[in-house]
Amino acid sequence: MFSLIIYRRLFVGSALLLSFIGIVFVYSASAYWSKVHYAGQMPFYLRQLMFFVVALLGFMFVSRSKWLLHERWWRLFYIISIVLLVAVLIPGIGVWRNGSRSWLGIGPLTFQPAEFVKITTLVYLSAVLAKWKRGERVIKLKHFIILLLPIGLIMMQPDFGSAFILIVAAFILFFIANYPLRFYGLCIMLGIAGLAGLIISAPYRLARIQAFIDPWQDQLGKGFQAVQSLLAIGPAGLFGHGFLKSRQKYLYLPEPQNDFIFSIILEETGFIGGLCIVCIFACFLYSGYKLATRAIYARYFYITSALVSMIAVQAALNIGVVIGLLPVTGVTLPFISYGGTSLVILWLTVGIIYLFGANTEGEEEAPWKK
């Protein structure tokens, strides 16, 4: 059995490796796009490298901040994140980009509050669930309010991808916390009703589903990204065309350094390269969950498990979209896709997991210790 220090090193080491791979392939994927659309500006890979340095500083700060172990801070952070989500929706404050108002701008810098609220919601909800009395296994309205308030605000932007990640991660958290079985039936009914409501309120979502079922039917419209991704992956074979030799990055696949960077990785490194990426993610998730199981307090166990699950859901969602198993959602590949806010928030999340995982300072024992 590995020691705690081995799991911590594997956890942080796999995140570092994924980030380094991300910088390398942001360079490969964005070189031509940057030259055509952003001539004279700092290249994407240099910006990613700069944000990576900031992200590491954030990780070192958070992983050593014992004061973050106290629940009152996360209650405050949760309230602040809700306020930021409201601010995003105010015209003149929120920044409109790619069909949604999801950003706050401060000069040349932009920040996406939805990335922050996913963390604060899961940590605060974990703290509330840990206070559940041993015999009080009933559905509580407070738990739903904590979750549905940020989800509603995120959907108003709209940002379906972030809302979906938060919902699934919270669902996993409820499952870990041994929520009553009738809760899952209620979630399924609400999910079906919510999906129907979303389609009725915005018919373009139905068009996206149709494009997912048969992207070739509208390959120059709604199915364009899915088709271009498949055209990148299909001919790559086992070993790909070679580093820097992608064809789809030459203005075929829009902004290839973002949501569809995994397509470029597969095109250049083939099935073997993609499998290596998946294996690194598997090491990251395995070590993260092992850190969670080493925690001796319920609150720490719930927090660590929920945050690791959040990253797992995001990675699975992005890869599923890229290979055509899921509809296009606009979700980035953790640690690898270009994006300053995403990279910094992810490393802050790694710092929080590192801080809470296997920590011995707390109030309540983990479920298996009771």
Does residue 364 surpass a pLDDT of 70?
Answer: no
Rounded to the nearest 10 degrees, the angle between the axes of helix 113-130 and helix 160-176 is: 10
pLDDT at 314: 96
How confident is the prediction for the chain on average, in pLDDT? Answer: 85
Least trusted range by pLDDT, from 276-290, 330-344, 354-368? 354-368
Least trusted range by pLDDT, from 64-73, 264-273, 352-361? 352-361
Cβ(161)–Cβ(167) below 8 Å: no
Does residue 290 surpass a pLDDT of 60?
Answer: yes
Q: Report how far residue 104's alpha carbon sits from residue 193's, in angstroms, rounded to the nearest whole number.
A: 31
Tens of pLDDT, residues 298-312:
889 999 999 999 999
Cβ(149)–Cβ(82) below 8 Å: yes
Structural domain total, the chain: 1
CB atoms within 10 A of CB 248: 20
pLDDT band at 297 (very low <50, low <70, confident <90, very high): confident
The average pLDDT across 140-167 equals 87
The average pLDDT across 156-172 equals 89
pLDDT band at 203 (very low <50, low <70, confident <90, very high): low
Domain of residue 164, residue span: 4-369
pLDDT band at 99 (very low <50, low <70, confident <90, very high): low
pLDDT at 116: 92
Does residue 366 surpass a pLDDT of 50?
Answer: no
Preceding amide of 158 cis, omega within 30: yes
Does residue 94 surpass a pLDDT of 90?
Answer: no
pLDDT at 363: 42
pLDDT band at 108 (very low <50, low <70, confident <90, very high): low
pLDDT band at 156 (very low <50, low <70, confident <90, very high): confident
pLDDT at 367: 45
**Which amino acid belongs to residue 357?**
G
3 state DSSP class of 76:
helix
The backbone torsions φ and ψ at residue 98, rounded to the nearest 5 degrees and listed phi first, read 55, 40
Does residue 120 surpass a pLDDT of 50?
Answer: yes
Does residue 180 surpass a pLDDT of 80?
Answer: no
Most confidently modeled of 24-33, 213-222, 260-269?
A: 260-269
What pTM did the predictor assign? 0.91
Q: Report how far residue 11's alpha carbon sits from residue 193's, in angstroms, rounded to the nearest whole number.
A: 39
